[in-house]
Amino acid sequence: MVPEAMAYAGIAGVPPLVGLYTVPIPLIAYALFGTPRTMVVGPDSATALISMGTVGAIVASHSGATQVAEFVAITSALALIVGMIFLLLGLARMGWVANFISTPVMKGFIQGLVWVTIIGQIPKLFGISGEHGNFFEQLFVIIPDMANLNPITTAIGLGCLVLLALIKRFVPRVPAALTALIVSIIVVSLFDLSAQGVDIVGKVEPGLPALAMPKFTLSQLELLIPGALAIVLLGYAETLGAAKAASVKSGGSIDPNQELVSLGPANMGAAFSGGFVVVGSLSKTSVSMGAGGKTQMASLVNAFFVILTLMFLLPLFTNLPHAALAAIVIEAMLSFACVRDPIKDKMPLNGMNTDQTLRKLRVPVFSAVMTATSKSIKEKIESIKIIQAGTGTAFFQQFYSSDRFCFPVLHGCQPNAYFSLSIK
């Protein structure tokens, strides 16, 4: 969990140490409030992407140390808002809320952010200077600058990418990210590569994060809410899917409303410790169960070891090259950038056509995507309200059927009759 947390911090646009700050309190909070016995929460690549896109739009006008400090602060504020929304929805017993998200819109949104994230990691992978901005602004700076790449940094970055691919292909039981980090640290330390221009994490003072309330203004709150809603919808759908899978394998039952409640203190805890958003993770849960975890005690043990790392083991990461972290991030993003649907099992099905996905795909590159996401949510809610008003109570089931939503009507119609509504 330690290397993933540090790497996913890069996806969220914050320093690697923030990834470690994110982990302990959510693990403890979810162990206390969550319903699955083996579920593990933590940083997630998809929600970290949305966090980065949301916060990046707010702090784009700043640069240097001011931008980094504000980026971290507003990222924690976003986690706090997400936690509060989760808690309120759970207390209101709104576990059905994950149905109100358009899969093509979210898929296109994430695909756009995937490529923005990858292009943002390229300078670290090759040891060149980067540029803030949208995808094409960064690309047009990177292409001519490739002539000045650092060959040693490039060898480390590409070597880690190859190592990650080989491990996941041939020995998937071996922790790929941890292995890549250990190998890169050893290589940098043995040959003193930091003296040859390899950018490393550097000395970090060990210690636990100071707990504090994230600070943000009302104007920032207004800009953060659309992104927070997108994270809640995607994060809850992913958490619920992972929780169901874990419960099937380990036994027991889950309460969807309690899952919303449990993600509230988990994210608020991450916010108060200076971290970013967390959700349930099927991959982390699978690793925990594969290692013999059968109860939430496994999460408490994970939290203990992360705290131990923060207090005593941070000096071991001094020679960790940023190229290795960039390789881990890029490898994680490439799994989202394939032609297969990366959130197929995480979101409810709907019948919006592929043209809508392609239209939304351009949004993260050129403008603020949250407005489109919020509009899609509003359209779906209005559509379902129409169905409820016209037919009374209905059992909602969605099918792939061109650009229509199809719902079985249970009252006042034949058993096999359906009411369909086109979305404009």
Helix axes 103-126, 354-361, angle to 10 degrees: 40
Which pair of tokens denotes residue 277? 């958003």
Query: What crossing angle do the helices spanning 103-126 and 370-391 adopt, rounded to 10°?
Result: 160
Distances (CA, A) of 348 to 103, 173, 241, 393: 7, 30, 10, 20
What is the count of structural domains for the chain? 2
**172 and 60, same structural domain?**
yes
Residues 194 and 309 in one domain: yes
Structural domain contains residue 346: no
Q: What is the pLDDT of residue 223?
A: 92
Identify whether 394 is part of a domain. yes
- What values do phi and psi take at 351, rounded to 5? -105, 20
- Would you say residue 155 lies in a domain? yes
The verdict on residue 347 lying in a domain is no
- Asked whether residue 108 is domain-assigned, the answer is yes
Q: State the DSSP code for 420.
A: E
Q: Quote the domain boundaries for residue 415.
A: 368-422
Q: Encoding tokens for residue 215?
A: 């600070």
Within a domain: residue 153? yes
Alpha helices in 175-281 (DSSP H): 176-191, 218-250, 256-272
- Whether 349 maps to a domain, the answer reads no
Token output for 304: 């203990």
pLDDT of res. 102:
62
- The model's pTM is 0.70
Domain membership flag for residue 358: no
Look at residues 279, 309, 334 and tell me which one is the last residue of a structural domain.
334
Rounded-to-integer distance, Cα 372 and Cα 133, Å: 20
Let me know whether 386 and 272 are in one domain: no
Of 283, 313, 334, which one is at a domain's C-terminal end? 334
| Same structural domain, 282 and 237 | yes
Over the chain (424 residues), the average pLDDT of each successive run of 10 is 85 91 95 86 88 87 64 95 95 77 63 78 89 79 91 95 93 88 94 92 88 91 92 85 73 83 95 94 70 80 92 92 90 65 42 43 38 45 39 35 33 36 36
Q: 92: closest CA among 260, 241, 254?
A: 260
74 Cβ contact list (under 8 Å, min separation 6)? 55, 58, 59, 214, 216, 220, 224
pLDDT for 368: 35
The predicted pLDDT at position 187 comes to 95
Spatial CA neighbour of 89 closest among 77, 76, 102, 98: 98
